[in-house]
Chain A
Amino acid sequence: SSSSSSTSSSSSVSSSSSTSSSSSSSSSSSSLKVTATKKDNFPQTHDDLFKAFEANLLQIFGLKNRPKLNEKTFVPQYMWDLYDSHKQKKDPSAPTSGRGYLPANTVRSFYHIDPHFMDCTEENASTIMFNISNMMEEEILTAADLRIFWDPKFYEYNYRGAASSSDISIDNSYDSNYNITRDNNNKNMFKKLKYFPIRIEVHEVISPPRWGSSSECITRLIDTKVIHSNSNTSTWVVFDVHPAVLKWKQTPHLNHGLHIRLSTATKNPVSVQPHQHIRLKRTADIEQNEWQNSRPLLITYTDDGKGVPLKRSRRSAR
């Protein structure tokens, strides 16, 4: 305000000097104008004060304007859990994967969008994209997790359904420990099938296939996990996708999404509807709320250099 007042005073002085003859009158008029401009800068009414306060608060939040919400946004349960853990000052690392991260004071969540290019046509695989353009440039990305929901009940249900319909054959080329003959009854088949380890591979799409051509997807393996389905509890499988997200942040036009591939740990293809137990795509029978709480979720940890980091404290040694 001081600089603006000084400029306004100088301009007022020049204008007044040109119009008035006496210097004393010009100086008095300039001083009056200065006081007027200073008063204008201050909020006059309660609304002005509120707007000024809101602008300051939005600046603290790193926002330009108050966000205008078009539709009802769903807050992922994971973000609620994370918020509760910070609120109660419990261990913030509890609901996360437990890997050691650099400090961060901002956690963002992203739901996937459909890819704008032709899907990498591959059996037992799916391509998902994340729009991370709202991440600020000055923020330092310290970690990024892809969370995929694993539902063993769905897994069992699908195998049970498949077996009862008896129209799907079991591939005998699986690992010898899990070989199933057609003579076995259904119960034995479920028991053995339930313990099939499933490998989930997360690839970064380097080059997507072009429309109308038979070119293949060029991908790069980022992380992989093997799931043993011997537990009855549903769980989130967490993958470290930091290198891919860091690349997308620096060069957004190279964001072609992630390619998630499923296979058995024995390097054989999964035969019976593998997408059903890993929630990558929404099926018709899933409710909206259930889908929102089980769809893939990208979590990014960034630090803007201000504030106390939301770091994950390490477990104390025994």
Chain B
Amino acid sequence: MNIFRFAGDMTHLISILVLLLKIYATKSCSGISLKTQELYAIVFVARYLDLFTDFISVYNTVMKLVFIGCSLAIVWCMRLHRVVRRTYNKDVDTFRHYFLVLGCFLLALFVHEKFTFQEVLWAFSIYLEAVAILPQLVLLQRSGNVDNLTVQYVFFLGAYRAFYILNWIYRYLTEPHFGRWIASVAGLVQTALYADFFYYYFISWKNNAKLQLPA
């Protein structure tokens, strides 16, 4: 494992911990898109089915279990927790995320490495992860005034994507047979979605001001 991959995994983990911390400490999920969280839960469950069939390392297994567990816990909190669920911005979180699920599944049926149950679900999870942030970005933009922890959450998620791209470039250059075309193209799309957010993030950081997204 190279340093970029590790940094990517850690920023991914931090983003989820920041989100859990926000929900736990403030007993509020305002500014967080339940749609995006549901999509991530689907992504992790679909991709990590290989927990039952393949063993790669203790690190991989533990991280997969943590990601599945945390994403399900977040969805549970936002939907069912007595206090937290009342803070959910239901009216602005209106993205039709079922269309994303359907579109990604159809794409995975046609574009995959092998036509097996696990490979199609793997491709599906890669495509869905690429677009899963969209409801969250739309919610950020609509609500305009966003709290700091939510901004940090999106920032760390974006950082994870950026590190993974560096990781793929590194692996492509150092491993003779490394080819991950489906994931690399989807990863580029996903990272590009964050470009706008990062632009405004750095502007607010430079001016030492609160993040403001244009309406």
Please say whether chains A and B are actual partners in one complex: no
By a beta-carbon cutoff of 8 Å, the part of chain A in contact with chain B is none
